[in-house]
Amino acid sequence: MTIDGSAHIQVAFTLLEGAGFRDHIDPGACASFGAMSTARRRRAADTATDEAAEEVRATLSAFVRHVRGATGSVRTTQGDTLEVLAAHKGMSIAALARARGVRHQSMRLLVADLMSEGFAKSAPDPSDARAQLISITALGRRKLASGRRGRSDFIAERMSERLSPGEQRELLAGMVVLRKLL
């Protein structure tokens, strides 16, 4: 049986609802439009798409907040900056500030904190002897991995407790559809 993308998203909503996120889900967000005229269906589809987009945003936001809160891994400026550093070999403070959308001075202070805690290090920029490149250390990578592992463990536990094997497969199929939006 083939399920279209909107059905996958509806399945994801249903599974999230069953996993304890009922207060954050509007069951009408992905309603069927079979009985409508074509023009009305197009207008309703635009509205439904907007409503579905809001439902996806709200549900995913609630899910992320719930998992982070339950695992004690709330977002921090340090953690977000380490995530950026983990994705790059080395960055200047100016490039890091741009990537994070903060002022250079704020990033300079944050990098100094990360370095003092052993999560980041600096090295001369081979293309500019006056500049330094900031990179994540092994300790910084372990800190990120520990947080990710805790969140993944929590989600896996919740899935095994609340979802049948079939529902788990449906949720993964919905993730494939959701990933197309990235």
CATH of the domain at 114: 1.10.10.10
Amino acid sitting at position 33: F
Residue 178, classified by CB atoms within 10 Å of its CB into exposed (0-12), middle (13-18) or buried (19+), is middle
Same domain, 106 and 125: yes
Residues 104 and 132 in one domain: yes
pTM above 0.75, yes or no: no
Residue at 145 is within a domain:
no
**Do 44 and 87 share a domain, yes or no?**
no
Pure H helices in 5-37: 5-16
Q: Structural domain tally of the chain?
A: 2
Q: Are 86 and 141 in contact (CB under 8 A)?
A: yes
Percent of the chain residues past pLDDT 90, beyond the cut: 54
| pLDDT band with cut points at 50, 70 and 90 for residue 76 | confident
Tens-digit pLDDT profile for residues 143-176: 999 999 999 999 999 999 999 999 999 999 999 9
Is residue 55 included in any domain, yes or no?
A: yes
Give yes or no: residues 102 and 12 share one domain. no
In a domain, 50, yes or no: yes
Tell me, yes or no, whether 148 lies in a domain.
no
Together in a domain, 66 and 83: no
Domain that holds residue 171: 5-74+154-179
Cβ neighbors of 73 (< 8 A, separation 6 or more) are 67, 79, 147, 150, 151
